[in-house]
Amino acid sequence: MSPRRPLSKVSVNTERPSEKRKSPFVDTNSRLPTTPPKCKTLSLADFEFGKVLGKGKLGKVYCVKHRESGLVCAIKAMSKKDLVNLKLEKNLRREIEIQRDLVHPNISRLYGYFYDETNVYLILEYALYGEVYQILKTRRRFDETTASRYIYQVSSGLQYLHSHNVIHRDIKPENILLSDMGEVKLSDFGWSVKSDPLSQKRLTVCGTLDYLSPEMVESRSHDFAVDIWSLGILTYEFLVGRPPFEDDDKGTTYKRIARVDLKIPSFLSEEAADFITQLLQKNPRQRLSLADVASHPWMEKHKAHWSK
């Protein structure tokens, strides 16, 4: 599988965080708190640090345990200097404002945040099995029962987001986590945006090249339907092991997306092929709605086996 090609790739060098900080944190009496945040002064000393879980495009992520409550969670540490230099302060502010209010089984929780002189820290829900991307790389591709279960859960999370006027705009395996209960969790809301369905469409081109919709690569306005397109790309990658329009030449990828040059392997079932085709329609209005995902024949065929 070739390396990802994000439109705006960010590399943050964040070593073990320093010990200076004060900030609010939500109540941690439950694993997934649903009550409004309670103000509490925190320091990094309030957490037991475990291993580094990974290094994302915005910083390093640590597995930590909140000493007082025993809550195991993740802390994402980001350098203030890098955020300023890369002009990502607005993205981070928007990410916090959006994600802190989201409570859904298929969306990673943002419990709170704090900062010190050098870093900003996000306190996030811990997902035991990490990125689905890493699991996919190991397995090469998922069987249709596994893929359909994951896609159903992603669509459920997207329905929740859209009902709260949020467009994710960066759906891909790297931004989907897998919990100890086998639930997938949408994460990384750095490119997400609040958008009233009745307001003007968005114009910003953002996300990861292989997952961009035709309206984005053609610099046309876009709305919630870009997430539906990305769901189709995700389904294809889960089942085939690579995105459908991937090419070594970036320009060729753009052209293939724009004309929807879709080639579905013969080893996929007719139901899977139809599901992907209905999602990957050039006309955003013709794409399968999220409300109809659950009743599609591909889902109906496999849902009885999801618990096995």
Q: Which are the catalytic amino acids?
A: 170
Report whether 112 contacts 100 (CB < 8 A). yes
Query: Is residue 80 part of an annotated ligand binding site?
Result: no
Q: Is 57 annotated as a binding residue?
A: yes
126 is annotated as contributing to ligand binding: yes
- Of 136, 131, 132, 105, the C-alpha closest to 53 is 131
Is 175 labelled as part of a ligand binding site?
yes
Give the burial class of 17: count Cβ atoms within 10 A of its Cβ; 0-12 exposed, 13-18 middle, 19 or more buried: buried
Residue 188 annotated as part of some ligand binding site = yes
- Asked whether residue 133 is marked as a ligand-binding residue, the answer is no
Is position 113 annotated in a ligand binding site?
no
Q: Which residues are annotated as a binding site for ATP?
A: 57, 76, 125-127, 174-175, 188
Q: Which residues are annotated as a binding site?
A: 57, 76, 125-127, 174-175, 188
